[in-house]
Each structure stands twice: as structure tokens, then as C-alpha cells.
Structure 1
Amino acid sequence: MKSIIEPLPIGKILGSVAQYSVAYCTAVGQISADLLLCVAATQLLMHYDYIAHCIETYRIKSKMVTNGVKHDMEFLRNIIIYHEKLLSLSDMLNDVFGVPLLVNFMSSACLMCFLGFQLTTGVSTEILLKLLLFLFSSSAQAYLICYFGQKLLEASAGISNAVYIHNWFEADLKYKKMLVQMARRAQRPAVLKATVLINISNVTMTDLLQISYKFFALLRTMYN
């Protein structure tokens, strides 16, 4: 009596194993790169917030203690050096992740466009759920990067606000002049960049959705 269950071909088994392995490695690679970017951006955020906190809570000592002017100048000098190092680290972050971010946003725009188009062509319920989940994950990945880009921009720009808040009016004239230079530099905040083409912030997510929708509308017009 022959067996009712036919054995699977070895080629099909190997193909399935290879397919799942490639999908797993691709997902892990994308998630790892995004998590590394988020961790690096979070570290920069913490340092920018720390600088802003130090400036806000510092009390001018020029009129309070002996050698107060010297103490104030030493504090400001250390803060400026700290700030310059952070700006250098921000540039380094853009050098490392600039090209991958550009490729990520281009691929996300194409994915959202084609997934939206496929959803409107009429698919089964099972495929529909898979496409919706894929669309959500692609959008969430892009939004996560835009979120940290916006936070980095706000944290670095917050240093200029901290400079204005603290009691600089009691300081020495030389201290005030150096403080003006620092505030002026902080008004050009650190920005997460996808090369020189895209400055990443919450506005970038809106632009990405608009571009995806434009291509989606073009595909629908050509399809009809």
C-alpha cells in the first residue's frame, strides 16, 4: 500500500530554508543598523541636554567669590570645548550613516508606493494582511529615523535657549562676548543628514509620504 503523503523534493526544502535564511538575515541587518543609529543619536541627545542643563543651572561667580571671573571663564571654556566635540561627533555620525540613510529613504518611498498600488489591485484577505503589515513596518522604520532626527535638531538648538536663560547679565564683559559666539554657533543646530540631499526631521516623513503618494497616483493612472 502506497503512502498517501508524498515526500517533499529536496530542492524545495533547500529553497525554503534558503529563502527564510535570507529573509531573516535581511531583517536582522536592517534592524541592527537602525538600532545602532538610534543608540548613537540617543547618546548625542543626552550630551546636548547635559550641556544645556549645565548652562541653565550655572550661576555667575564674578561678583560672588574671589577669582570668580577666572572660574566663570574656565567653565565657559570647558563647555565650548565640550560643544565642539559634540558637533564633531554629529558630523561623524552623518559621515557613517549618510549614504545608508539615503538608500533607506529611497527604498522606503518605493516600497510604500508599490505596496499601496498592490493593495488597490484586489488581493486575497491573507495577502492583504501581509501587505498591510509590511506597509506599517516600512512606515514605522522611516518614522523612527525621522523622530530621532527631529530630537537631535531640537536638543542641539536648545543650547542657544539655555545660553539666554542663564544669568549671563551678571558676568564679565569677556565672558559675555564668548557666550555670544557660542549662542550664534548653537543657532545652527546639528542635523541628521542622508548625505547632503536630505536633512532628516519630522518634515522629512511628510515629504516621504507625499513622494510615495505621487508615484502611487502615477502608477494608478498608468494602470487604468
Structure 2
Amino acid sequence: PRPRTVNEEVLKLCKMSEDLNKLLYKKSFENKRIITPLVMICMSIGCNIKYAAGFKDPVKLLSLTLVLLSIVGLGSQFLYIYENLSESMLVYTDAICTSFQTLISISKLFHFAFTQHKFYKLVQIAQNSEILQNFEILELNILNKKKIIQEIQEIIQDSWLDIKRQLNFYLCCVFGIAAWYYGSCFAVNIYNICTHSSFAEFELIFPFQASFPIWRDNSKVFPYYFIKFIIISSETHISGMSAICFASLYIVISLHTLALLKILRRLVAHSTTENVLPQERDKFIMVWAKLHQQIYEYFCQMNSLYYIQSAPLFFVSMLVICLLIFQASVGLGTNADVVIKMALYFSAAGFEVSMFCFNGQRLTSENERLPVALYNTNWYEENDKYKFITLMMLMRTNRPIAVQVGCFTTMSLVTLLGIMRSSFSYCLLLREFNE
């Protein structure tokens, strides 16, 4: 056969890189369908990750409206708690849970107002796998490139399947508790209307426990009940949707980072094998080092978005779980409504904090495998330049990749265990206080 010229070899190398780009481009449409519900939910609370927008994005007017209504509703919940302090704590435990949830949701909306363009950028990088586009390793003269492309494709595919599963499960949890709050409210009100001859014989209830003293005498006169219902519904809406938005964005970004780290570990295993020609190994490890730096910068951007906001989130989650355990231990057998509500609420709140810690632990553990994988290659048989780059990368890969929870701790299984232990401890104190 006719020997290949230099130009033909270059064209073949470029073609392999283009093949990966085509696969990633095709996969981006599937990824977009997976996160479309998330984009719509974010838009419903005034967080625009659908397209690039500036600080003066008109969608933020919706966020501002929801915040103002929720602040009024939050005040009504605090008033309800104050009015019932002389009663058993079980009477207003639910109001404490929902008020804390509303408070943290308002802080999330303020956070999104200043960072939505950063979230948009990170989500787009994950959706389109931009870090892997124009992959320089495939432009090197190495063997078995189809196998490398297949490995990358499998890791990305598994990553997005994991993203889809976690998103769908969390959506079901949050919509389940929101539907129960609305459904039980409508069911009780309709039942009372049908079984009583006059509105004076019963009280109309809301999804969340609240007290509006200025409209107490006109609570059943149009349009006062509907005004109060809109205010409370705003609280219910942002409590659920902001939780989905904040946690789901973390799922997408963190699991994509995890996939990139897995690709790094898989690639370094090829660095000293027969797939990489000896004269190309210096370039291979250098390109690998550049890819590691891009992934580390991507992680740092994600960490900066969750660094501050995650601290109050974990604190509120601990309190909510504590109150849910308290409800279960004291009032579990008193009312079927309490049992169902507690189970739905615990599934949503428990999964949220568990997801943050579990995915954070996976990131940390995968990063710890990188220097081991690098050290396990036959670097000692290579030239001095390769050994020097390997030594530098051993030090760089030992930099910790751990999502920070403020300046207190990291998202890890140890943190999750600490939250659960603290929740049980505070629950015992609440039981003694209630008795």
C-alpha cells in the first residue's frame, strides 16, 4: 500500500478530535432535555439559566415579587408561633419547619440574583462538555484512539444517567410534599364547606400555618382569604422551587466534575502503555496536566457558588430534621396527616442534605485516586522531562477537591453523620423541653 504522507496523518488526527466533538454535540441535545424541567423551575422563581443575561434581567422582577410576598408570609408564621407558645410544641412545630425553609429560600433567591450568570456558564459547560471539546490528546500521534473515545463516551453517558436519576427523585420528593400541603388544605376546606351550612361554623385553613390579625375579622370575606392564600402560596412556591433549583444545579455541576475526574484517571492509565508512542509521552502528560488544571478551575467556580450559601442551608437542614424526628417521636400516633407529612418532608429534606454530602464525598474520593493512578504508571522508565512533569502533577493532584460548607466543614459523609447525630441530640433536648 502507498505510504501515508504527513498531511494525511494530520488529517486523520484532526478527524478523531472532530469525531469526539460530534459525539459531544449530539449528547448535548440529550443533556438539554434532561435539564429542561430544571430550567423551567428556575425561571418560575426568577432565576434565569436558560440564556445568558445581565444583572438587570426582567425575570428578576418575579423573584423580587416572590421575596416581598414571602417576607409578609414569614411574619405571619412567626406571629402564629408567638400566639401559640403557651400550647404544646406539636401545635406549631410545622410552622417552625416551614418558616425556616422560607427563610433559607429567600436567601437563595438573593444569592441567585447576583450569581445566575455564573450558574448559567457552569451548566452550559456541563451540558455541552466544553472542557472535552477539541480534545488535544486525540490530536497526538497515539494508538487505539477509538477505545479512548469510547471510554470517554461511556463515562459521560453514565454521569448523565446518574444526574437524571437524582434530579427525578428529588423532583418527586419536593413535589410530593408541596402537593400534600396544597392537597390537604383544599380537601379540608372543601369538606368543611360541604358539611357546614355557614362559613361562621369553621375556619378556612392555608397550606402553611399562619396568622393575619389585620384580616382576622374578615377572613372569610372576599377577597381577603384569597390575598392571604396568595401570600402563603408564595412561601410554599419558593420553599419548594428554590430547593430544587439550588440542589439540582449542584447535582448537574458536581456530577459533571466527577465524570471529568474519572476521565482524567482513565487517561493517565494510558500514558506509559503501548498506546502512547515514546516520543509522544511528554506531550501526552503535558496535555493531561492542562486538562487537570481546567477541571480544577471548573471545580473552584462551583465551590465559590456554594461556599457561603451552603452553611445556613446545612444548619437549617439540621434543625428541620431535628423537628421532624421530634414530631415522629411525640405525635406519630396522634394523626395520620402528621405521619404522611413527616414522611414526605423527611424524604425531601433528608435527600437534599444527603445528596450534597454524598456527591461531595464522591468528588473528594475520586480526586484522591488521581495521584495513586499517576504513581502506578511506569513513569520511572521515562526520560527526565516526563519524570519532572509527573512529580509536579503528583503535587498538584494532591490539592484537595472538597466542596466547602462555609469555613466550618466540607460536604462529606462525615459531615452528614455529624448532622444526623446533632439532630438526634437536639431532638432529645426538645422532648425534655416539651415535657
Q: Specify the alignment match of 1:125 in structure 2.
A: 336
Identity, in percent, stands at 19
Determine if the alignment matches structure 1 residue 114 to structure 2 residue 335. Answer: no
Of 45, 48, 51, which aligns to 2:258?
45
Amino acid paired to 2:309: P
Q: Specify the alignment match of 1:26 in structure 2.
A: 239
Match of 1:120, SS state, is helix
Of 290, 313, 317, which aligns to 1:81?
290
Deviates more, 1:104-113 or 1:15-24: 15-24
Of 371, 377, 399, which aligns to 1:188?
399
TM-score (norm 2): 0.47
Match of 1:190, SS state, is coil
Amino acid paired to 1:102: A
Give the drift of 1:187. Answer: 2.6
Q: 1:64 to 1:56 in 2, by over 3 A?
A: closer
Amino acid paired to 2:296: L
Match of 1:58, SS state, is coil
Give the drift of 1:64. Answer: 5.5
Match of 2:410, SS state, is strand
**Inter-partner Cα distance in structure 2 for 1:13 and 1:60:** 71
Of 42, 46, 58, which aligns to 2:271?
58
Q: Specify the alignment match of 1:9 in structure 2.
A: 221
Give the drift of 1:14. Answer: 2.9
**Inter-partner Cα distance in structure 2 for 1:127 and 1:217:** 19
Match of 2:308, SS state, is helix
User: Which digits, 9 at most, give the CA deviation of each residue in 1:100-121, with x for residues without a partner?
Assistant: 1111100000101122223333
Q: Specify the alignment match of 1:159 in structure 2.
A: 370
**Inter-partner Cα distance in structure 1 for 2:307 and 2:403:** 8
Is this contact kept in 2: 1:101–1:194, CA < 8 A? yes
User: What are the equivalent positions in structure 2 for 1:81-100 lying under 5 Å apart?
Assistant: 81-100=290-309
**Inter-partner Cα distance in structure 2 for 1:113 and 1:157:** 33
**Inter-partner Cα distance in structure 2 for 1:77 and 1:58:** 11
**Inter-partner Cα distance in structure 1 for 2:251 and 2:296:** 17
**Inter-partner Cα distance in structure 1 for 2:434 and 2:239:** 31
Q: CA RMSD in A?
A: 2.3
Q: Specify the alignment match of 1:223 in structure 2.
A: 434
Give the drift of 1:144. Answer: 0.7
Q: Specify the alignment match of 2:415 in structure 1.
A: 204
Amino acid paired to 1:162: A
Is this contact kept in 1: 2:282–2:386, CA < 8 A? yes
**Inter-partner Cα distance in structure 1 for 2:433 and 2:358:** 34
Amino acid paired to 1:181: M
Amino acid paired to 2:311: L
**Inter-partner Cα distance in structure 1 for 2:243 and 2:304:** 18
Match of 2:404, SS state, is strand
Is this contact kept in 2: 1:98–1:194, CA < 8 A? yes
RCO greater where, 1 or 2, for CA within 8 Å and sep 6 or more?
1
**Inter-partner Cα distance in structure 1 for 2:272 and 2:283:** 13
**Inter-partner Cα distance in structure 2 for 1:174 and 1:58:** 14
**Inter-partner Cα distance in structure 2 for 1:22 and 1:223:** 28
**Inter-partner Cα distance in structure 2 for 1:44 and 1:64:** 29
Is this contact kept in 1: 2:271–2:284, CA < 8 A? no
**Inter-partner Cα distance in structure 2 for 1:126 and 1:194:** 34
